Amino acid sequence: MPLQPLKPKLIIANWKMYLGVKESIILARQTSKIKTTNEIVVCPSFVVLPLAKKELGKKVKLGAQNVAWREGGALTGEVSASMLSELGCKYVIVGHSERRSLLNESEVTIREKLKLAVAKKIIPIFCVGETAEARKAGETVKVIKGQLAVLNNLSFDKLVIAYEPVWAIGTGRVPTTEEISDVHGFIRAEAGKSVKNLQIVYGGSVDENNIKKILAVTGVDGVLVGGASTKLNSWKKIIN
Ligand code: 13P
């Protein structure tokens, strides 16, 4: 098994639309009290951002789950990069597979979102990952190479790429450590040249039972956690 020594990791919570407003405030407060040497980012719903920021304190960083592909103006229901910046967001998730598949998010809008986030000094957490069909067809690398092409000719001081196989999200299924290591290695070779500070995190059914094994995989700088990040007991174990 490809292993690496343990060092501080980037642990990102994507609360998706799992929690209500009150529940989010409580979990943000509890998160601020967990002792850890890892770097923690919490991405709550837009409506909770200012309230969560207050609870998370200084150490835990705030992230958003999405950003508008235009900077301002007549765009009903959207939230701009400058608004996120004003609210203290340090990170934003861009191109999550749920948005690509359920909301038809295109590579054109993903690229615009990346540009606007960078312009406002918000670090993108850019998501890539293959479907079960693509993996079965042996096309994992081809699909990810295609998704990474949106980064061409963009420049980033700092970028997080999340490898989230679509078939692993919310299913309890996780790739083998070799598979994760191979894909992370490919992403680093492909995107690492143009990004000074690149962190590659794994996402998809991360929980308190598999966290240690995943964080020990060569090339894994951290994790992006959905469901398990919304349950305090699991989340505490993942953070530590
Ligand atoms: P789960 O951890 O619930 O599988 O979700 C992963 C994910 O989509 C994080 O962005």
Q: For residue 4, tell me if it sits in a domain.
A: no
By most ligand atoms within 8 Å of CB, the mutation choice from 16, 99, 126, 127 for ligand 1 is 16
Token pair in block for residue 237:
């174990």
Token pair in block for residue 150:
């949106």
Token pair in block for residue 154:
């963009």
Q: For residue 3, tell me if it sits in a domain.
A: no
Distance 44 CA to ligand 1 centre (A): 13
Once rounded to an integer, what is the mean pLDDT over residues 171-187?
98
Residue of 55, 105, 130, 164 marked catalytic = 164
Interatomic CA distance for residues 154 and 96, integer angstroms: 19
Q: For residue 103, tell me if it sits in a domain.
A: yes
At residue 12, the 3 state secondary structure works out as strand
pLDDT at 3: 62
Position 193 confidence tier, pLDDT thresholds 50, 70, 90: confident
Q: For residue 176, tell me if it sits in a domain.
A: yes
Which range of residues forms the domain containing residue 137?
Answer: 10-239
At residue 154, the 3 state secondary structure works out as coil
Q: For residue 5, tell me if it sits in a domain.
A: no
Q: For residue 152, tell me if it sits in a domain.
A: yes
**What is the domain count for the chain?**
1
Note the pTM of the prediction, 2 decimals: 0.96
Q: For residue 201, tell me if it sits in a domain.
A: yes
**pLDDT tens digits for range 10-31:** 999 999 999 999 999 999 999 9
Q: For residue 1, tell me if it sits in a domain.
A: no
Residue of 96, 98, 130, 184 marked catalytic = 96
For residue 177, what is the domain's CATH number? Answer: 3.20.20.70
